Structure 1
Protein backbone atom coordinates (compact mmCIF):
# COMPACT_ATOMS: atom_id res chain seq x y z
CA UNK A 1 0.00 0.00 0.00
CA UNK A 2 1.50 3.26 -1.10
CA UNK A 3 1.73 6.01 1.48
CA UNK A 4 0.24 9.31 0.40
CA UNK A 5 2.03 12.41 1.72
CA UNK A 6 -0.13 15.48 2.09
CA UNK A 7 1.67 18.79 1.68
CA UNK A 8 0.15 21.69 3.57
CA UNK A 9 0.24 24.90 1.57
CA UNK A 10 2.46 27.73 2.72
CA UNK A 11 1.24 31.26 2.15
CA UNK A 12 3.87 33.32 0.35
CA UNK A 13 2.97 36.39 2.41
CA UNK A 14 4.45 34.95 5.63
CA UNK A 15 8.06 34.54 4.46
CA UNK A 16 7.73 37.75 2.46
CA UNK A 17 6.79 39.58 5.65
CA UNK A 18 9.82 38.15 7.44
CA UNK A 19 12.27 39.13 4.72
CA UNK A 20 10.78 42.60 4.29
CA UNK A 21 10.90 43.12 8.05
CA UNK A 22 14.56 42.11 8.05
CA UNK A 23 15.20 44.50 5.17
CA UNK A 24 13.55 47.31 7.15
CA UNK A 25 15.93 46.64 10.05
CA UNK A 26 18.92 46.77 7.69
CA UNK A 27 17.73 50.07 6.20
CA UNK A 28 17.21 51.51 9.69
CA UNK A 29 20.70 50.51 10.82
CA UNK A 30 22.17 51.90 7.61
CA UNK A 31 20.41 55.22 8.13
CA UNK A 32 21.50 55.39 11.77
CA UNK A 33 25.07 54.71 10.70
CA UNK A 34 24.93 57.52 8.15
CA UNK A 35 23.63 59.92 10.80
CA UNK A 36 25.95 58.79 13.56
CA UNK A 37 29.15 58.95 11.54
CA UNK A 38 28.19 61.81 9.22
CA UNK A 39 29.19 60.31 5.89
CA UNK A 40 26.37 62.10 4.02
CA UNK A 41 24.35 65.27 4.40
CA UNK A 42 21.78 65.18 7.18
CA UNK A 43 18.67 65.43 4.91
CA UNK A 44 19.86 62.42 2.90
CA UNK A 45 20.40 60.35 6.05
CA UNK A 46 16.99 61.36 7.40
CA UNK A 47 15.41 60.34 4.10
CA UNK A 48 16.87 56.85 4.54
CA UNK A 49 15.49 56.70 8.08
CA UNK A 50 12.07 57.76 6.81
CA UNK A 51 11.99 54.87 4.35
CA UNK A 52 12.62 52.23 7.04
CA UNK A 53 9.27 52.68 8.88
CA UNK A 54 7.41 52.57 5.57
CA UNK A 55 9.06 49.23 4.73
CA UNK A 56 8.25 47.99 8.24
CA UNK A 57 4.56 48.88 7.77
CA UNK A 58 4.55 46.82 4.58
CA UNK A 59 5.93 43.87 6.54
CA UNK A 60 3.15 44.29 9.12
CA UNK A 61 0.51 44.40 6.39
CA UNK A 62 1.81 41.20 4.77
CA UNK A 63 1.96 39.47 8.15
CA UNK A 64 -1.65 40.39 8.92
CA UNK A 65 -2.78 39.12 5.52
CA UNK A 66 -0.80 35.94 6.14
CA UNK A 67 -2.62 35.46 9.46
CA UNK A 68 -5.94 35.66 7.61
CA UNK A 69 -4.88 33.03 5.08
CA UNK A 70 -3.47 30.76 7.80
CA UNK A 71 -6.72 30.99 9.79
CA UNK A 72 -8.96 30.49 6.76
CA UNK A 73 -7.08 27.86 4.79
CA UNK A 74 -4.92 26.21 7.44
CA UNK A 75 -1.78 27.18 5.57
CA UNK A 76 1.64 27.07 7.19
CA UNK A 77 3.80 30.13 7.85
CA UNK A 78 2.73 31.32 11.29
CA UNK A 79 6.32 31.52 12.57
CA UNK A 80 7.52 33.53 9.58
CA UNK A 81 4.60 35.94 9.90
CA UNK A 82 5.31 36.44 13.61
CA UNK A 83 8.97 37.07 12.81
CA UNK A 84 7.93 39.72 10.30
CA UNK A 85 5.79 41.41 12.95
CA UNK A 86 8.61 41.39 15.52
CA UNK A 87 11.17 42.80 13.08
CA UNK A 88 8.76 45.51 12.00
CA UNK A 89 8.09 46.49 15.60
CA UNK A 90 11.82 46.86 16.20
CA UNK A 91 11.91 49.47 13.42
CA UNK A 92 8.67 51.21 14.40
CA UNK A 93 9.46 51.41 18.12
CA UNK A 94 11.87 54.34 17.71
CA UNK A 95 9.61 56.67 15.70
CA UNK A 96 6.65 55.77 17.92
CA UNK A 97 8.64 56.64 21.06
CA UNK A 98 9.76 59.99 19.68
CA UNK A 99 6.19 60.82 18.58
CA UNK A 100 4.69 59.95 21.96
CA UNK A 101 7.38 61.84 23.87
CA UNK A 102 6.94 64.87 21.64
CA UNK A 103 3.17 64.91 22.19
CA UNK A 104 3.52 64.29 25.92
CA UNK A 105 6.28 66.71 26.78
CA UNK A 106 5.73 69.41 24.12
CA UNK A 107 9.43 70.19 24.07
CA UNK A 108 10.11 73.28 21.94
CA UNK A 109 13.19 73.19 19.76
CA UNK A 110 14.32 76.84 20.18
CA UNK A 111 14.66 77.77 23.85
CA UNK A 112 16.48 80.47 25.79
CA UNK A 113 16.85 81.84 29.29
CA UNK A 114 15.77 85.29 28.06
CA UNK A 115 12.68 85.30 25.83
CA UNK A 116 12.15 89.07 25.85
CA UNK A 117 15.66 89.62 24.44
CA UNK A 118 16.95 86.22 23.30
CA UNK A 119 20.66 85.90 22.49
CA UNK A 120 21.36 86.31 18.79
CA UNK A 121 23.62 83.97 16.89
CA UNK A 122 26.76 85.29 15.26
CA UNK A 123 26.63 86.18 11.57
CA UNK A 124 30.37 85.88 11.04
CA UNK A 125 31.69 83.81 8.19
CA UNK A 126 33.01 81.11 10.54
CA UNK A 127 29.74 80.86 12.46
CA UNK A 128 27.62 80.69 9.30
CA UNK A 129 29.89 78.01 7.87
CA UNK A 130 29.58 75.93 11.05
CA UNK A 131 25.78 76.21 10.88
CA UNK A 132 25.75 75.51 7.11
CA UNK A 133 24.25 78.92 6.46
CA UNK A 134 21.36 78.51 8.91
CA UNK A 135 20.56 81.51 11.12
CA UNK A 136 17.88 80.93 13.78
CA UNK A 137 15.15 83.54 13.72
CA UNK A 138 14.58 86.24 16.32
CA UNK A 139 10.94 86.76 15.30
CA UNK A 140 8.48 87.15 18.20
CA UNK A 141 7.06 83.85 19.40
CA UNK A 142 9.79 81.71 17.83
CA UNK A 143 12.00 81.44 20.92
CA UNK A 144 10.40 79.71 23.91
CA UNK A 145 11.23 79.97 27.57
CA UNK A 146 13.66 77.30 28.71
CA UNK A 147 11.78 75.16 31.21
CA UNK A 148 11.97 71.58 32.40
CA UNK A 149 8.75 69.65 33.17
CA UNK A 150 8.46 69.16 36.91
CA UNK A 151 11.38 71.49 37.69
CA UNK A 152 10.29 74.84 36.31
CA UNK A 153 11.97 77.64 34.38
CA UNK A 154 15.72 77.67 33.75
CA UNK A 155 16.86 81.12 34.85
CA UNK A 156 19.85 83.12 33.59
CA UNK A 157 22.99 82.76 35.68
CA UNK A 158 24.22 85.78 37.63
CA UNK A 159 27.91 85.49 38.53
CA UNK A 160 29.65 87.68 41.05
CA UNK A 161 32.93 87.59 39.14
CA UNK A 162 34.40 89.88 36.47
CA UNK A 163 33.82 89.30 32.76
CA UNK A 164 37.22 87.76 31.96
CA UNK A 165 37.18 84.87 34.48
CA UNK A 166 33.49 84.20 33.80
CA UNK A 167 34.11 84.07 30.05
CA UNK A 168 37.19 81.86 30.37
CA UNK A 169 35.38 79.47 32.72
CA UNK A 170 32.43 79.25 30.30
CA UNK A 171 34.75 78.53 27.41
CA UNK A 172 36.37 75.68 29.35
CA UNK A 173 32.99 74.26 30.44
CA UNK A 174 31.69 74.31 26.87
CA UNK A 175 34.72 72.40 25.63
CA UNK A 176 34.58 69.97 28.55
CA UNK A 177 30.97 69.20 27.58
CA UNK A 178 32.17 68.30 24.10
CA UNK A 179 30.76 71.35 22.34
CA UNK A 180 32.52 72.54 19.18
CA UNK A 181 33.27 76.20 19.90
CA UNK A 182 32.81 78.16 16.66
CA UNK A 183 33.41 81.70 17.86
CA UNK A 184 34.42 83.23 21.19
CA UNK A 185 34.36 87.01 21.66
CA UNK A 186 35.07 88.19 25.22
CA UNK A 187 33.31 91.32 26.40
CA UNK A 188 35.53 94.33 26.99
CA UNK A 189 34.89 97.27 29.26
CA UNK A 190 31.82 97.93 31.39
CA UNK A 191 29.36 97.79 28.49
CA UNK A 192 30.98 95.18 26.26
CA UNK A 193 28.86 92.08 25.70
CA UNK A 194 30.70 88.78 25.29
CA UNK A 195 29.50 85.87 23.19
CA UNK A 196 30.35 82.23 22.56
CA UNK A 197 28.81 80.36 19.63
CA UNK A 198 29.07 76.57 19.63
CA UNK A 199 27.63 73.45 18.05
CA UNK A 200 26.73 70.31 19.95
CA UNK A 201 25.17 67.04 18.79
CA UNK A 202 22.52 64.78 20.24
CA UNK A 203 24.11 61.57 21.58
CA UNK A 204 22.44 58.93 19.40
CA UNK A 205 21.68 60.40 15.99
CA UNK A 206 24.32 63.16 16.16
CA UNK A 207 21.78 65.81 15.12
CA UNK A 208 23.32 69.31 15.29
CA UNK A 209 22.27 71.65 18.09
CA UNK A 210 23.31 75.31 17.71
CA UNK A 211 24.16 77.15 20.93
CA UNK A 212 24.90 80.78 21.68
CA UNK A 213 25.95 82.15 25.07
CA UNK A 214 25.69 85.86 25.93
CA UNK A 215 27.68 87.57 28.69
CA UNK A 216 26.21 90.88 29.88
CA UNK A 217 28.28 92.91 32.37
CA UNK A 218 26.54 94.03 35.56
CA UNK A 219 27.61 96.38 38.36
CA UNK A 220 28.96 93.49 40.44
CA UNK A 221 29.53 90.74 37.92
CA UNK A 222 28.16 89.11 34.78
CA UNK A 223 24.78 87.77 33.65
CA UNK A 224 24.96 84.67 31.44
CA UNK A 225 22.11 83.83 29.03
CA UNK A 226 22.02 80.76 26.81
CA UNK A 227 19.96 79.82 23.76
CA UNK A 228 19.88 76.43 22.02
CA UNK A 229 18.26 75.50 18.72
CA UNK A 230 17.86 72.05 17.18
CA UNK A 231 18.83 72.99 13.66
CA UNK A 232 16.44 70.73 11.78
CA UNK A 233 13.56 70.96 14.23
CA UNK A 234 13.61 67.34 15.35
CA UNK A 235 14.92 65.50 18.35
CA UNK A 236 16.18 61.98 18.83
CA UNK A 237 15.79 59.54 21.74
CA UNK A 238 18.00 61.76 23.93
CA UNK A 239 15.45 64.49 24.46
CA UNK A 240 17.74 66.76 26.53
CA UNK A 241 18.20 69.09 23.58
CA UNK A 242 16.86 72.31 25.04
CA UNK A 243 16.36 73.39 28.61
CA UNK A 244 18.17 70.35 30.02
CA UNK A 245 21.29 71.19 28.00
CA UNK A 246 21.18 74.82 29.15
CA UNK A 247 20.75 73.79 32.77
CA UNK A 248 23.66 71.36 32.52
CA UNK A 249 25.92 74.10 31.17
CA UNK A 250 24.88 76.75 33.70
CA UNK A 251 25.24 74.35 36.64
CA UNK A 252 28.73 73.39 35.48
CA UNK A 253 29.67 77.05 34.97
CA UNK A 254 28.40 77.98 38.43
CA UNK A 255 30.43 75.17 40.00
CA UNK A 256 33.53 76.16 38.02
CA UNK A 257 33.38 79.82 39.09
CA UNK A 258 32.69 78.84 42.71
CA UNK A 259 35.76 76.59 42.72
CA UNK A 260 37.85 79.34 41.13
CA UNK A 261 36.70 81.87 43.74
CA UNK A 262 37.45 79.45 46.59
CA UNK A 263 40.91 78.79 45.16
CA UNK A 264 41.63 82.51 44.92
CA UNK A 265 40.42 83.09 48.49
CA UNK A 266 42.63 80.35 49.89
Structure 2
Protein backbone atom coordinates (compact mmCIF):
# COMPACT_ATOMS: atom_id res chain seq x y z
CA UNK A 1 0.00 0.00 0.00
CA UNK A 2 1.47 3.28 -1.09
CA UNK A 3 0.98 6.50 0.84
CA UNK A 4 0.08 9.58 -1.07
CA UNK A 5 1.95 12.69 0.02
CA UNK A 6 0.03 15.91 -0.16
CA UNK A 7 2.14 19.04 -0.42
CA UNK A 8 0.44 22.27 0.60
CA UNK A 9 1.51 25.55 -0.85
CA UNK A 10 3.40 27.71 1.68
CA UNK A 11 1.73 30.69 3.30
CA UNK A 12 2.88 34.01 1.86
CA UNK A 13 5.30 35.67 4.26
CA UNK A 14 4.17 39.05 2.93
CA UNK A 15 0.61 38.18 3.97
CA UNK A 16 1.76 37.18 7.46
CA UNK A 17 3.79 40.35 7.97
CA UNK A 18 1.14 42.60 6.45
CA UNK A 19 -1.36 41.38 9.05
CA UNK A 20 1.12 41.76 11.89
CA UNK A 21 2.18 45.23 10.78
CA UNK A 22 -1.42 46.35 10.22
CA UNK A 23 -2.39 45.52 13.80
CA UNK A 24 0.86 46.96 15.12
CA UNK A 25 0.29 50.24 13.23
CA UNK A 26 -3.29 50.32 14.59
CA UNK A 27 -1.94 50.12 18.14
CA UNK A 28 0.70 52.76 17.42
CA UNK A 29 -1.91 55.08 15.89
CA UNK A 30 -4.19 54.78 18.93
CA UNK A 31 -1.28 55.44 21.28
CA UNK A 32 -0.12 58.43 19.22
CA UNK A 33 -3.63 59.92 19.30
CA UNK A 34 -3.70 59.47 23.06
CA UNK A 35 -0.31 61.19 23.29
CA UNK A 36 -1.58 64.14 21.23
CA UNK A 37 -4.62 64.46 23.52
CA UNK A 38 -2.42 64.56 26.62
CA UNK A 39 -0.09 67.24 25.23
CA UNK A 40 -0.71 70.87 24.39
CA UNK A 41 -2.18 70.87 20.85
CA UNK A 42 0.29 71.91 18.16
CA UNK A 43 1.17 71.07 14.56
CA UNK A 44 4.52 69.66 15.72
CA UNK A 45 2.68 67.45 18.21
CA UNK A 46 1.08 65.56 15.30
CA UNK A 47 4.45 63.97 14.40
CA UNK A 48 3.62 60.66 16.19
CA UNK A 49 0.37 60.43 14.21
CA UNK A 50 2.25 60.98 10.95
CA UNK A 51 4.72 58.26 11.95
CA UNK A 52 1.88 55.86 12.69
CA UNK A 53 0.37 56.49 9.27
CA UNK A 54 3.70 55.69 7.63
CA UNK A 55 3.46 52.26 9.27
CA UNK A 56 -0.11 51.91 7.97
CA UNK A 57 1.11 52.66 4.44
CA UNK A 58 3.88 50.09 4.81
CA UNK A 59 1.36 47.47 5.95
CA UNK A 60 -0.84 48.36 2.98
CA UNK A 61 2.10 47.92 0.63
CA UNK A 62 2.90 44.51 2.11
CA UNK A 63 -0.72 43.43 1.68
CA UNK A 64 -0.61 44.38 -2.00
CA UNK A 65 2.69 42.50 -2.41
CA UNK A 66 1.08 39.49 -0.74
CA UNK A 67 -1.79 39.54 -3.24
CA UNK A 68 0.71 39.65 -6.10
CA UNK A 69 2.70 36.71 -4.71
CA UNK A 70 -0.46 34.69 -4.09
CA UNK A 71 -1.61 35.32 -7.65
CA UNK A 72 1.75 34.49 -9.23
CA UNK A 73 2.90 31.54 -7.12
CA UNK A 74 -0.30 30.17 -5.67
CA UNK A 75 0.73 30.78 -2.08
CA UNK A 76 -1.83 30.66 0.70
CA UNK A 77 -2.71 33.60 2.93
CA UNK A 78 -5.31 35.50 0.93
CA UNK A 79 -7.46 35.88 4.06
CA UNK A 80 -4.58 37.41 6.00
CA UNK A 81 -3.79 39.83 3.19
CA UNK A 82 -7.45 40.78 2.77
CA UNK A 83 -7.84 41.42 6.51
CA UNK A 84 -4.70 43.55 6.57
CA UNK A 85 -5.86 45.50 3.52
CA UNK A 86 -9.29 46.17 5.05
CA UNK A 87 -7.79 47.31 8.37
CA UNK A 88 -5.36 49.63 6.59
CA UNK A 89 -8.16 51.18 4.54
CA UNK A 90 -10.20 51.79 7.70
CA UNK A 91 -7.20 53.43 9.40
CA UNK A 92 -6.51 55.56 6.33
CA UNK A 93 -10.09 56.85 6.06
CA UNK A 94 -9.54 59.84 8.42
CA UNK A 95 -6.33 60.77 6.60
CA UNK A 96 -8.22 60.54 3.31
CA UNK A 97 -10.86 62.90 4.67
CA UNK A 98 -8.17 65.40 5.70
CA UNK A 99 -6.62 65.19 2.23
CA UNK A 100 -10.03 65.71 0.61
CA UNK A 101 -10.72 68.81 2.71
CA UNK A 102 -7.28 70.25 1.96
CA UNK A 103 -7.85 69.74 -1.75
CA UNK A 104 -11.44 71.00 -1.95
CA UNK A 105 -11.69 73.73 0.71
CA UNK A 106 -9.88 77.08 0.79
CA UNK A 107 -7.15 77.70 3.36
CA UNK A 108 -9.26 79.57 5.93
CA UNK A 109 -8.94 79.44 9.70
CA UNK A 110 -11.30 82.27 10.71
CA UNK A 111 -14.98 82.23 9.70
CA UNK A 112 -17.59 84.91 10.41
CA UNK A 113 -21.28 85.31 9.65
CA UNK A 114 -20.59 89.02 9.05
CA UNK A 115 -17.72 89.42 6.59
CA UNK A 116 -18.04 93.21 6.42
CA UNK A 117 -17.95 93.84 10.17
CA UNK A 118 -16.84 90.62 11.91
CA UNK A 119 -17.43 90.47 15.68
CA UNK A 120 -14.30 91.48 17.58
CA UNK A 121 -12.83 89.17 20.20
CA UNK A 122 -12.74 90.41 23.77
CA UNK A 123 -9.41 91.60 25.16
CA UNK A 124 -10.41 91.19 28.80
CA UNK A 125 -8.13 89.32 31.18
CA UNK A 126 -10.57 86.40 31.42
CA UNK A 127 -10.81 86.06 27.63
CA UNK A 128 -7.06 86.36 27.10
CA UNK A 129 -6.40 83.75 29.78
CA UNK A 130 -8.86 81.32 28.18
CA UNK A 131 -7.24 81.89 24.78
CA UNK A 132 -3.74 81.59 26.26
CA UNK A 133 -3.01 85.22 25.43
CA UNK A 134 -3.96 84.83 21.78
CA UNK A 135 -6.00 87.43 19.93
CA UNK A 136 -7.20 86.12 16.53
CA UNK A 137 -5.82 88.53 13.94
CA UNK A 138 -7.93 90.51 11.49
CA UNK A 139 -8.66 88.68 8.25
CA UNK A 140 -7.91 90.30 4.90
CA UNK A 141 -10.99 91.31 2.85
CA UNK A 142 -10.05 88.94 0.02
CA UNK A 143 -10.07 86.03 2.49
CA UNK A 144 -13.53 87.05 3.65
CA UNK A 145 -14.75 87.15 0.06
CA UNK A 146 -13.23 83.71 -0.46
CA UNK A 147 -15.22 82.53 2.55
CA UNK A 148 -18.44 83.81 1.03
CA UNK A 149 -17.76 81.85 -2.17
CA UNK A 150 -16.82 78.66 -0.33
CA UNK A 151 -19.50 78.79 2.39
CA UNK A 152 -22.47 80.81 1.08
CA UNK A 153 -24.81 79.38 3.74
CA UNK A 154 -22.85 80.96 6.60
CA UNK A 155 -25.01 83.99 7.33
CA UNK A 156 -26.27 86.07 10.28
CA UNK A 157 -29.07 84.66 12.42
CA UNK A 158 -32.00 87.07 12.32
CA UNK A 159 -34.71 86.59 14.95
CA UNK A 160 -38.02 88.28 15.66
CA UNK A 161 -37.20 87.99 19.36
CA UNK A 162 -35.89 91.06 21.24
CA UNK A 163 -32.12 91.19 21.83
CA UNK A 164 -32.37 90.15 25.49
CA UNK A 165 -34.33 87.01 24.60
CA UNK A 166 -31.91 86.29 21.73
CA UNK A 167 -29.02 86.57 24.18
CA UNK A 168 -30.63 83.97 26.47
CA UNK A 169 -31.18 81.67 23.49
CA UNK A 170 -27.56 82.06 22.43
CA UNK A 171 -26.31 81.19 25.93
CA UNK A 172 -28.51 78.10 26.04
CA UNK A 173 -27.25 77.03 22.60
CA UNK A 174 -23.61 77.44 23.66
CA UNK A 175 -24.23 75.39 26.82
CA UNK A 176 -26.05 72.67 24.87
CA UNK A 177 -23.11 72.38 22.46
CA UNK A 178 -20.69 71.90 25.35
CA UNK A 179 -18.64 75.02 24.62
CA UNK A 180 -16.82 76.69 27.49
CA UNK A 181 -18.29 80.13 28.18
CA UNK A 182 -15.44 82.50 29.00
CA UNK A 183 -17.49 85.63 29.61
CA UNK A 184 -20.74 87.21 28.52
CA UNK A 185 -22.58 90.51 28.69
CA UNK A 186 -26.24 91.19 28.00
CA UNK A 187 -27.34 93.61 25.27
CA UNK A 188 -27.32 97.22 26.36
CA UNK A 189 -24.73 99.82 27.26
CA UNK A 190 -23.09 102.18 24.81
CA UNK A 191 -23.12 99.88 21.78
CA UNK A 192 -26.41 98.21 22.60
CA UNK A 193 -24.95 94.82 21.63
CA UNK A 194 -24.56 91.75 23.80
CA UNK A 195 -21.61 89.39 23.61
CA UNK A 196 -20.64 85.81 24.49
CA UNK A 197 -17.03 84.60 24.40
CA UNK A 198 -16.56 80.83 24.24
CA UNK A 199 -14.07 78.09 23.46
CA UNK A 200 -14.97 74.90 21.56
CA UNK A 201 -12.61 71.91 21.86
CA UNK A 202 -12.40 68.96 19.51
CA UNK A 203 -13.44 65.56 20.85
CA UNK A 204 -10.51 63.58 19.48
CA UNK A 205 -7.41 65.81 19.35
CA UNK A 206 -8.69 68.60 21.64
CA UNK A 207 -7.80 71.30 19.10
CA UNK A 208 -9.58 74.53 20.05
CA UNK A 209 -11.65 77.12 18.22
CA UNK A 210 -12.17 80.52 19.82
CA UNK A 211 -15.70 81.80 19.32
CA UNK A 212 -17.28 85.19 19.85
CA UNK A 213 -21.01 85.81 19.48
CA UNK A 214 -22.52 89.26 19.03
CA UNK A 215 -26.22 89.97 19.64
CA UNK A 216 -27.51 93.25 18.19
CA UNK A 217 -30.99 94.72 18.62
CA UNK A 218 -33.01 95.52 15.50
CA UNK A 219 -36.23 97.39 14.97
CA UNK A 220 -38.00 94.13 14.16
CA UNK A 221 -36.11 91.86 16.56
CA UNK A 222 -32.43 90.99 16.82
CA UNK A 223 -29.44 89.74 14.88
CA UNK A 224 -26.83 87.24 16.03
CA UNK A 225 -23.40 87.11 14.42
CA UNK A 226 -20.84 84.41 15.16
CA UNK A 227 -17.11 84.34 14.51
CA UNK A 228 -15.03 81.19 15.00
CA UNK A 229 -11.23 81.09 14.68
CA UNK A 230 -8.81 78.15 14.93
CA UNK A 231 -5.77 78.51 17.14
CA UNK A 232 -3.48 76.27 15.09
CA UNK A 233 -2.68 76.20 11.41
CA UNK A 234 -3.87 78.17 8.40
CA UNK A 235 -6.49 75.59 7.30
CA UNK A 236 -9.33 74.63 9.62
CA UNK A 237 -10.55 71.68 7.47
CA UNK A 238 -14.05 73.14 7.73
CA UNK A 239 -14.08 73.01 11.56
CA UNK A 240 -15.11 76.64 12.10
CA UNK A 241 -17.92 76.38 9.58
CA UNK A 242 -19.21 73.30 11.40
CA UNK A 243 -19.14 75.14 14.74
CA UNK A 244 -21.17 78.04 13.37
CA UNK A 245 -23.62 75.71 11.60
CA UNK A 246 -24.06 73.67 14.80
CA UNK A 247 -24.76 76.84 16.77
CA UNK A 248 -27.33 78.06 14.21
CA UNK A 249 -29.04 74.65 14.24
CA UNK A 250 -29.17 74.65 18.04
CA UNK A 251 -30.70 78.15 18.14
CA UNK A 252 -33.33 77.03 15.62
CA UNK A 253 -34.07 73.96 17.72
CA UNK A 254 -34.51 76.08 20.85
CA UNK A 255 -36.83 78.43 18.98
CA UNK A 256 -39.11 75.52 18.09
CA UNK A 257 -39.54 74.40 21.70
TM-score tier by shorter-chain length is 0.7 to 0.9
Q: C-alpha offsets along residues 35-85 of structure 1, whole Å, 9 cap, x if unaligned?
A: 6xx433223763333223211110112222333333444444333322221
Change (3 A) 1:2 1:129: same
Cα distance in 1 for partners of 2:70, 2:253 equals 64
Q: SS in structure 1 opposite 2:115?
A: coil
In structure 2, the residue matched to 1:17 is 18
Moved more, 21-30 or 131-140: 131-140
Distance 1:145 1:225, change over 3 A: farther
Task: Name the CA distance, whole Å, in 2 between partners of 1:3 and 1:95.
Answer: 52
Residue 84 of structure 1 aligns with which residue? 84
CA distance, structure 2, for counterparts of residue 253 and residue 9 of structure 1: 63
> Which sits farther off after the overlay, 90-99 or 5-14?
5-14
Q: So what's the TM-score if we normalise by structure 1? A: 0.75
Q: How many residues align?
A: 252
Local SS of the residue matching 1:196 = strand
Residue of structure 1 in register with 2:56 after alignment: 56
* Partner in structure 1 of residue 40 of structure 2: 41
With over 3 angstroms needed to count, the CA separation of the structure-2 counterparts of 1:146 and 1:129, relative to structure 1, is: farther
Which stretches in structure 1 are left out of the alignment for 5+ residues? Answer: 260-266
Q: TM-score, normalised by structure 2?
A: 0.77
Structure 2 segments unaligned to the other structure (5+ residues): none
1:242 partnered with 2:231: no
2:200 match: 200
* Distance in 1 (alpha carbons) for counterparts of 2:120 and 2:159: 21
Shift of 1:113: 1.0
Moved more, 199-208 or 132-141: 199-208
1:231 equivalent to 2:231? Answer: yes
Which residue of structure 1 lines up, in the alignment, with residue 94 of structure 2? 94
Measured in 1, the distance between the counterparts of 2:107 and 2:180 equals 24
SS in 1 for 2:38: coil
- Tell me the alpha carbon deviations over residues 90-143 of structure 1, each in whole angstroms, 9 at most, x when there is no partner: 211221133235544658442111111211222333223322343322131444
Worse-matched range after superposition: 121-130 or 7-16: 7-16
Q: Is the 8 A contact 1:18 1:59 kept in 2?
A: yes
Residue 9 of structure 1, CA deviation:
4.0
1:26 aligned partner: 27
Distance 2:81 2:255 in 1: 60
| Aligned residues: CA RMSD | 3.5
Residue 263 of structure 1 corresponds to none
